[in-house]
Amino acid sequence: MAATQPTTQTADRHRVVIIGSGFGGLFGTKQLRRSDVDVTIVAKTTHHLFQPLLYQVATGILSQGEIAPPTREILSSQKNAQVLLGEVTDIDLDAHTVTSQVLGRSTVTPYDSLIVAAGAGQSYFGNDHFAEFAPGMKSIDDALELRGRIFGAFEMAEIGATRGENVDHLLTFVVVGAGPTGVEMAGQIAELAHRTLHKDFRSINTRQARVILVDAAPQVLPPFGEKLGIKAKSELEKLGVEVILGAMVTDVDERGIEMKFKDGRVERIESVAKIWAAGVQANPLGRTLSEQTGAPLDRAGRIAVNPDLTLPGHPEVFVVGDMINLDHLPGVAQVAIQGAKYAAKEIDNRLKSKPSAGPFHYFDKGSMAIISRFRAVALIGKLRVTGVLAWLMWLALHLIYITGFKSRVTALLHWAVSFIGRGRSERTTTEQQIFARSALSRLKRGATDLVSDPGAYDAARAMLETTRRAELEERALEEARLTDAGERGVPVEQASSVG
Ligand SMILES: Cc1cc2nc3c(=O)[nH]c(=O)nc-3n(C[C@H](O)[C@H](O)[C@H](O)COP(=O)(O)OP(=O)(O)OC[C@H]3O[C@@H](n4cnc5c(N)ncnc54)[C@H](O)[C@@H]3O)c2cc1C
């Protein structure tokens, strides 16, 4: 019999369903902790994810646990919140239900108010096959796969060099996309090659590794403005990163990438480890919502929402964060956090019959990108900050937003190891981290094919029982026939030839 837990959720309380346990989902749920509502947070991972630090997991600075604490643990003391694992596959705005799936198990969750905070995925601009050879950086799986590919490339280069082979393609790392993620990733791979690994290998000189940052745009960090873009580029070059701008990636395969320049020139870079940090595509749930409300989607799949973040004709449904297209708001954590808190407050106001706070207003707290240890750029309003000061601001801000005291302390220790020393505490990689994604993608229904669906297991067992029973009956009949015919026993010559 299945064990059941007493729940503090009651049948007649207002039901808020929140889709996603990222920045929007988590902060929206927490905002409702004192409200007279039952909150169900449905997310396809069991953890909350601090995406801005994924690149540090990929380059061995932090462990995945530090940036991805269990949502259930974070919300364990919030009695009005229940956490449900599942990938939402349908939202029925008329029936007020959300349908989620996990490994063949389907759950329908009814709601009175809904907050959709399902974020965005990687966009390969219509070339999804690039993903096989150049993983993006959106999830813990991505970061661990990239960690395996980056450290694995150095390992393979060492073997190749020992055998006298050319290993240039193994020691060339290409990062596509010169936004904050691409810049941070390129900077960290360069530090890895030049500072961390150079004493660890015997046949290769890791300091000769090439780290190349490619973008179709004419500058790095376009949202930070020209001056900070130039500063960031020169800092990257000081680190030994080659920055190639105005180059559109036209092909990616196992051994390299091909780029086309504005003057028509086509160049190929031989590289095994490639990282895709260009382009985002809003969650496909936006399309479901668009089809039911007529709210248009932009090219990145983001849905146009009302100024109060609700959907046309559905004041009970809020969409927040990376999924929305409103007033050119950027896809950053603060848009999701502030939007989700706003939506939660609106729900609470309605229940208390208080007036609405009016349209959602985003307060821009600024942007920053770390280039390497002690080097960062920050844009706060019109103020530009660079160098050590920007880096210290980055450090303080990230410490505040990392969830949980334990994670903050261990992250601080790992930063000390990597930034004051030259080590990386999290260099463990496995073959499965690198190859499991490709293997799973070959299964028709992904991981669902590895476990039996409920019902399918019972059906399979019943079939097995029937077959076994038939076999037993057949054997019993044969035994009876042999006994009746006096044919029992095995002839001596036949028995001695066995084995
Ligand atoms: C590598 C990287 C670096 C970044 N760096 C910065 C930075 O430095 N500063 C900054 O401000 N922003 C940064 N961002 C952007 C920032 O992380 C996002 O803007 C923010 O996470 C958006 O929050 P969200 O709640 O909309 O979505 P997310 O935080 O992405 O959360 C989406 C949630 O929905 C869940 N989900 C998705 N689909 C489903 C489904 N079908 N069913 C159930 N659950 C689902 C996901 O598992 C996840 O829990 C970065 C992003 C990335 C990827």
Ligand 1 mean position, distance from CA 170 (Å): 31
In testing the pocket of ligand 1, which one of 29, 49, 51, 105 has its CB within 8 Å of the most ligand atoms?
51
Q: State pLDDT tens for residues 240-258.
A: 999 999 999 999 999 999 9
At 478 the three-state DSSP class reads: helix
- CA atoms of 62 and 32, how far apart (whole Å): 31
- CA atoms of 44 and 101, how far apart (whole Å): 9
Higher-scoring residue by pLDDT: 95, 422: 95
Q: What is the dihedral of CA 223, 228, 233, 239, to 10 degrees?
A: -120
Higher-scoring residue by pLDDT: 223, 463: 223
- CA atoms of 382 and 394, how far apart (whole Å): 17
Domain 3-44+86-123+281-351 CATH superfamily: FAD/NAD(P)-binding domain (3.50.50.60)
pLDDT for residue 238: 95
Q: Can you point out the beta strands (E) in 96-184?
A: 97-102, 105-110, 113-116, 120-122, 172-176
In testing the pocket of ligand 1, which one of 332, 364, 403 has its CB within 8 Å of the most ligand atoms?
332
Catalytic residue among 66, 184, 191, 235: 184
Instruction: Please check whether the two domains, 3-44+86-123+281-351 and 128-278+373-441, share a CATH topology.
Output: yes
pLDDT for residue 221: 95
Closest ligand 1 atom number to CA of residue 47? 49
For ligand 1, which residues put their CB under 6 angstroms from it?
19-25, 42-45, 51-52, 54, 87-88, 117-119, 137-138, 180-181, 283, 285, 321-322, 331-334, 336
Considering the domain 128-278+373-441, what is its CATH architecture? 3-Layer(bba) Sandwich (3.50)
Q: pLDDT confidence of 10, banded at 50, 70, 90? A: low
Active site annotation includes 184: yes
By the 8 A CB rule, do 286 and 301 touch? yes
pLDDT at 4 > cutoff 70: no
Closest ligand 1 atom number to CA of residue 26? 25
Which pTM does this prediction carry?
0.89
Domain ranges across the chain: 3-44+86-123+281-351, 128-278+373-441
